[in-house]
Structure 1
Amino acid sequence: MGDDAPLVELRELTRRLRAECPWDREQTARTIVPHTVEEAYEVADAALADDPVKLRDELGDLLFQVFFLSLLLEEQGEGDLDDVTRAVHEKLVRRHPHVFGDAEARTPGRVRERWEEIKTEREGRIGVFHDVPESLPALLLARKAQRRAAAVGYDWPDLAGPSEKVREELDELLAELARAGRPGPETEPDRAVEAELGDLLFTVVNLARFVNVDPELALRGATGRFRRRVELAERLAAEAGETWTALGLEEQERWYERAKATMGSRAADR
Structure 2
Amino acid sequence: MESAGGDAVARLDELTRKLRRECPWDREQDERSIVPHTVGEAYELAAAAQSGDDAKMVDELGDVLFQVHFLSLLLEERGTGSLAEVADHAHAKLVRRHPHIFGEVEVDSSGEVLKNWDQIKKGEDGREPGIFGDVPENLPGPLYALKTQRRAASTGFDFDHVPYDGVTGELEELEAAKTREETFHEVGDVLFAAINVARKLKVDPELALRASADRFQERVQAAEEIAKRDGKAWDALDTEAQLGYYTRARTLLER
Instruction: Assess same fold via TM > 0.5.
Output: yes
1:133 corresponds to which residue? 136
Q: Deviation of residue 124 (structure 1)?
A: 7.3
Q: Residue 254 of structure 1 aligns to which amino acid in structure 2?
A: G
- Measure, in 2, the Cα distance between the counterparts of 1:254 and 1:191: 34
Q: Distance in 2 between matches of 1:167 and 1:59?
A: 39
Separation (CA, whole Å) in 2 of partners of 1:32 and 1:191: 38
Please give the residue correspondences for 1:9-28 in structure 2 after superposition, counting only pairs within 5 Å.
Answer: 9-28=11-30
Instruction: Find the counterpart in structure 1 of residue 158 from structure 2.
Output: 155
In the other structure, the counterpart of 1:93 is: 95
> How far, CA to CA, are the matches of 1:158 and 1:134 in structure 2?
28
Q: Counterpart in 2 of 1:257? A: 247
The answer for the alignment partner of 2:175 in structure 1 is 174
The partner residue of 2:115 within 113, 116, 136 is 113
Query: What letter corresponds to residue 10 of structure 2 in structure 1?
Result: V
Question: Structure 2 stretches of 5 or more lacking a match?
Answer: none
AA paired with 1:219?
L
Instruction: Indicate yes or no: 2:214 matched with 1:214.
Output: no
Query: Which of 231, 234, 240 pairs up with 1:244?
Result: 234
What's the counterpart of residue 143 of structure 1? 146
State the shift of 1:123 in Å: 5.1
166-175 vs 38-47, which moves further: 166-175
Q: CA deviation at 1:191?
A: 2.7
Summarize deviations over 1:190-221 as a string: whole Å, max 9, x none: 33321221122111111111221111111011
4+ residue stretches of structure 1 with deviation over 3 A?
121-126
In the alignment, the residues of structure 2 paired with residue 130 and residue 262 of structure 1 have an alpha-carbon distance, to the nearest angstrom, of 48
SS of 1:34's equivalent? helix
For residues 244 and 157 of structure 1, what CA distance do their matches in structure 2 show? 47
Once the two structures are TM-superposed, the CA of residue 154 in structure 1 deviates from its matched residue by: 0.8
Where 2:79 maps in the other structure, the secondary structure is coil
Identity, % of aligned positions? 51
2:189 maps to amino acid: D
Aligned length in residues = 252
How far residue 9 of structure 1 moved from its aligned partner, in angstroms, is: 0.9
**C-alpha distance in 1, partners of 2:123/2:31?**
31
CA RMSD of aligned residues (A): 1.6
1:83 and 2:73 correspond: no
Which residue does 1:35 correspond to in 2? 37
Distance in 2 between residues matched to 1:34 and 1:191, nearest whole Å: 33
Q: Give the C-alpha shift of residue 117 in structure 1.
A: 2.2
Query: For residue 201 of structure 2, what is the amino acid of its counterpart?
Result: V
**Residue type at the aligned position of 2:236:** A
- Distance in 2, Cα, partners of 1:83 & 1:137: 29
Question: What do residues 117-168 of structure 1 show as CA deviations (whole Å, max 9, x unaligned)?
Answer: 2223455743211311112111000000100000101112323xx3222222
Alignment of 1:215-234 (within 5 A): 215-234=205-224
1:168 and 1:58 map into 2 onto residues whose CA distance is 41
- Residue 88 of structure 1 and its aligned partner are, at CA, apart by 0.1
Consecutive unaligned residues of structure 1, counting only runs of 5 or more, are 181-189, 266-270
User: Given residue 138 of structure 1, which amino acid in structure 2 is its aligned partner?
Assistant: G
| 1:210-269 per-position Cα deviation (integer Å, ceiling 9, x unaligned) | 22111111101100100010111111111222221221111111110011011111xxxx
Q: TM-score, normalised by structure 1?
A: 0.89
Letter in 1 for 2:169: E
